[in-house]
Amino acid sequence: MLLHSCLVLREGGRDGDGGICGGWAGGLAAGAGMTVGALAGYWLGAHSAQRIPAAVVRQVVTGIGLVLAALTFWKEFAGK
């Protein structure tokens, strides 16, 4: 995410179109906002991951995998 923030900053004012962020000022604001959000997410994720028991994490990951597999099979075979 930090690399993407830097690319937004770099590409913000090219070709006169202002990029998706509206020029250098918008690119700076968007890049800084994405960087702060990414760092906060990393910190909160690491902080909470240390407090959740490993068995719970395994169950959640297994559940997500089963749901995604079921949705994929449903879309492929029964959703047509």
- 45 and 22 within one domain: yes
Contact 23, 38 (CB under 8 A): no
Tens-digit pLDDT profile for residues 2-59: 555 555 555 554 555 555 555 555 667 788 889 999 999 999 989 888 899 999 989 9
34's CB contacts (< 8 A; 6+ apart) are 1, 4, 5, 8
- 3 and 39 within one domain: yes
- 33 and 66 within one domain: no
- 38 and 1 within one domain: yes
